[in-house]
Amino acid sequence: MGKAGTEFFWYATEPPQQLTRLLESEPLPPGLALDIGCGNGVLTSYLAQRFELAVGLDLVFQPLSRARTEFGDVNGASSFVQGAVPFLPIRDSSCALVFDRDCLRNIPWSLWPRYFSETARVLRPSGILQILFPDRRRKPILTVKGLRTVAKDALSRKSRGGPRVLSTSVVRPLLPPTLNVIREDRFLFQVPSGNRHPFTELVVRKS
């Protein structure tokens, strides 16, 4: 059972400033916004106020069902769909924006190339993919946390044979020729508890 709503440690009602800045500064074609790994739907509902349609997609039913109840009718422009990224139940060239805050890291690394070919498929020319992901660096092994991280990595199916950390240097070679990086940035993401976590922002535009 997945986490939902306020159970997310970073639950927040405000959109991240990386997203608001992008919408203010980057021209986008007409089309829909797709929020992949939408969780509680807060950000899908934000996007629904700015796009003709915002679709929130998540693997887990519980947060989706809460999202439908809470945000299912933002100006008639939001829709929540259950599905497994990277397989996107979306028509070719229909999205102006694909937004992902910490979904990519959750899918097996062997599917990461498919993630980018799928996002390239659903984006319109000049459409944008924005990915925000936490930088999880390995803690020094001589700490309890370090030992735990190493043990978790060893047991994880996700990391077996693949990169241990999602980073822009891992992502760049996976991008199809039509997706071009237009922004790469690091920032500190402050969660409601006040703790700050290092994150990376990657923005690519489809040619």
Ligand X SMILES: C[S@@+](CC[C@H](N)C(=O)[O-])C[C@H]1O[C@@H](n2cnc3c(N)ncnc32)[C@H](O)[C@@H]1O
Q: Does 187 bind ligand X (CB under 6 A)?
A: no
How many CA atoms, within 13 angstroms, populate the side-chain half-sphere of residue 76? 0
Q: Does 19 bind ligand X (CB under 6 A)?
A: no
Please, what's the largest Cα pairwise distance for the chain? 53
Q: Does 63 bind ligand X (CB under 6 A)?
A: yes
Instruction: Rank residues 1 and 144 by Cβ distance to ligand X and give the closer one.
Output: 1
Cβ burial, residue 79 (10 Å; 0-12/13-18/19+): middle
Instruction: Rank residues 3 and 126 by Cβ distance to ligand X and give the closer one.
Output: 3
The residue within the footprint of ligand X, chosen from 26, 29, 59, 181 (CB under 6 A), is 59
Q: Does 58 bind ligand X (CB under 6 A)?
A: yes
Residue numbers 105-164 binding ligand X by CB under 6 A = 106-107
Instruction: Rank residues 86 and 127 by Cβ distance to ligand X and give the closer one.
Output: 86
Residue with tokens 């599905």: 83
The residue within the footprint of ligand X, chosen from 34, 85, 122, 166 (CB under 6 A), is 85
As a whole number of Å, the end-to-end CA separation of the chain is 39
We find the least distance from the C-beta atom of residue 206 to ligand X, in angstroms, to be 21
Ranges assigned E (strand) in the chain: 32-36, 54-58, 78-82, 95-101, 123-134, 179-190, 196-206
- Contact residues: ligand X, CB under 6 A: 2, 8, 37-39, 57-60, 63, 84-85, 101-103, 106-107
